[in-house]
């Protein structure tokens, strides 16, 4: 006989549980506490379906377990990665040999209660083939209006799923069918800031890895500098999974020294920045301050990837030729179209920008995005490529400490883009402190952590002319630009003092 677990009704206890399990994630914690408050006021509320979307290692699956602990419910997990048979969800009809109920009913049996937390892991990696589309079978499971009468093919009777708290996780949204997305309440988990990673390491990762390595936490002390050194020079990620591995690697080496030590009573190790380099070896990632000098035709762009934000440098160079344009760096179709739109926009206002129209016919323009082995696509590099072109054509250096992201139209209007939080965290992580965004992206700035936003100078622009005003160096004498095509960073720069325009 199935039973219903009593939920935690004390919101203070639930909040304390969430805070103990996870650092940060304030919006998600608020959403869970709101859910518990409504459960106390409404006797039979509709089932809730949350979908956590974020890069690997940001804590989506562990957050599901934490929610189960905070609500006092049983927790069961279904891994959907690679599932491509509809019968995995709905079950087989009993006329087939080896038939069995679907995974949803099996999970309910395993939980032994009608109101568990069911985590549908990696919902964006569902497959489909001649055996059906499991994502379509999930439509009934995840619809609060329909799942009270879910019908499994094996049971062939209506089964009530309305009291289940469903949580889905995904790395990206674009592979989830729109009809399924419509049934999910999307909650984005962006990457962590350096300060958040330090706190997560101190509160959760180091104690956990000390236990795994058999080391008494009192014998090993990680300083903040040691954790920061690991974050900056040995990991490059939005989450903390690799950080946990590197901390574990340090502790295993300490464990070996402890076992070999003759006097174990006074054994104590302080792991600071120098000790981290000694334990982990050569630095793997150098913190990219970007170039210390501003160059002609070299512009910093911001990109969104499945593992968080990243900084991409776009290069543009002029050579003698017949007006041909070459695009390299394994660019996708959308990015190539952005480059063509940017070029047409620049050509249409050549005289205003001080560009000789003859250059378009007598010189070849080559645009390159380094790391050519990695495919790149997306609509957010338009203004970056346009700025690189103008820099190369006018021989004005692009500022080395400025990064930008936004799409461009033929008339020079700057359009908004997505992934703003991830991109800004990436710029902050790479040491860039001045950003250029579309004015329509102003609404996204509320999601940026205060400690990041306070260190950034953000220019919100409408047109490419405003972008060029902030991105190019105008107050440098011409003879400096003519010889080496590099501008000295110590030279005075354009005024970029406004924090948010």
Q: For residue 437, give the DSSP letter.
A: E
3-state SS class at 321: coil
| Dist CA 483 CA 474 (whole Å) | 16
Contact partners, residue 425, CB within 8 Å, separation at least 6: 190, 191, 193, 238, 308, 309, 448, 452
Q: Which residue has the tokens 């009468």?
A: 149
137-141: Cβ within 8 A, 24+ apart: 137/86, 137/89, 137/90, 138/89, 138/180, 139/179, 139/180, 139/183, 141/89, 141/104, 141/166
Let me know: does 425 contact 419? Beta carbons within 8 Å: no
Let me know: does 496 contact 470? Beta carbons within 8 Å: yes
Active site residues: 380, 423
Contact partners, residue 88, CB within 8 Å, separation at least 6: 102, 103, 134
| CB-based burial label for 60 (10 Å; 0-12, 13-18, 19+) | buried
- Report the 10 Å Cβ neighbour count for 96: 11
C-alpha closest to that of 341 among 372, 398, 393, 381: 381
C-alpha closest to that of 177 among 143, 119, 145, 133: 133
| Dist CA 62 CA 189 (whole Å) | 13
Q: What is the DSSP string of 24-84?
A: S-HHHHHHHHHHHHHHHH-SSPPPPEEEEEE-TTSSHHHHHHHHHHHHT--EEEEE-TT--
């Amino acid at each position: 006989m199935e039973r219903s677990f009593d939920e935690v009704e004390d919101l203070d206890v639930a909040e304390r549980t969430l805070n103990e399990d996870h650092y940060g994630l304030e919006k998600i914690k608020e959403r869970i506490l709101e859910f518990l408050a409504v459960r106390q006021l409404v006797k039979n509320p509709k089932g809730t379906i949350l979908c956590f979307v974020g890069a690997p290692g940001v804590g989506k699956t562990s957050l599901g377990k934490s929610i189960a602990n905070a609500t006092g419910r049983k927790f069961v997990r279904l891994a959907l990665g690679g599932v491509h048979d509809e019968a995995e969800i709905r079950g087989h009809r009993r006329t087939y040999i080896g038939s069995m109920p679907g995974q949803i009913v099996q999970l309910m049996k395993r939980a032994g209660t009608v109101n568990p937390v069911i985590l549908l892991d990696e919902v964006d990696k569902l497959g489909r083939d001649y055996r059906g589309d499991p994502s379509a079978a999930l439509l009934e499971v995840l619809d609060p209006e329909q799942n009270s009468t879910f019908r499994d093919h094996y049971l062939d009777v209506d089964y009530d799923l309305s009291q289940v708290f469903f949580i889905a996780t995904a790395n990206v949204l674009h592979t989830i069918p729109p009809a399924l997305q419509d049934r999910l309440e999307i909650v984005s988990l962006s990457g962590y800031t350096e300060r958040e990673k330090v706190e997560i390491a101190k509160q959760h990762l180091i104690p956990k890895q000390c236990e795994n390595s058999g080391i008494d936490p009192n014998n090993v002390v990680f300083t903040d500098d040691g954790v920061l050194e690991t974050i900056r020079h040995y990991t490059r990620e939005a989450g903390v999974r690799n950080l946990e591995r590197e901390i574990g690697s340090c502790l295993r080496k300490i464990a070996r020294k402890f076992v070999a030590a003759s006097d174990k009573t006074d054994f104590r190790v302080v792991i600071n920045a120098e000790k981290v380099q000694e334990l982990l070896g050569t630095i793997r990632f150098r913190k990219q301050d970007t170039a210390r000098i501003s160059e002609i035709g070299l512009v910093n762009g911001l990109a969104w990837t499945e593992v968080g934000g990243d900084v991409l440098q776009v290069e543009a160079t002029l050579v003698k030729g017949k007006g041909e344009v070459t695009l390299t760096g394994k660019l996708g179709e959308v990015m190539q179209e952005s480059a063509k739109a940017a070029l047409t926009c620049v050509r249409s206002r050549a005289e205003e920008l001080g560009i000789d129209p003859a250059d378009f016919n007598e010189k070849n323009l080559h645009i390159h995005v380094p790391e050519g082995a990695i495919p790149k696509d997306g609509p957010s590099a338009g203004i970056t490529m346009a700025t690189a072109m103008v820099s190369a054509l006018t021989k004005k250096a692009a500022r080395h400490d400025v990064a930008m992201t936004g799409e461009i139209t033929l008339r020079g209007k700057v359009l908004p883009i997505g992934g703003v939080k991830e991109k800004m965290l990436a710029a902050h992580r790479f040491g860039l402190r001045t950003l250029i965004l579309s004015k329509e992206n102003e609404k996204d700035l509320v999601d940026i952590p205060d400690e990041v936003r306070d260190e950034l100078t953000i220019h919100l622009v409408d047109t490419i002319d405003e972008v060029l005003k902030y991105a190019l160096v105008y107050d440098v004498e011409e003879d400096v630009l003519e010889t080496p095509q590099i501008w000295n960073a110590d030279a005075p720069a354009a005024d970029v003092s406004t924090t948010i325009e």
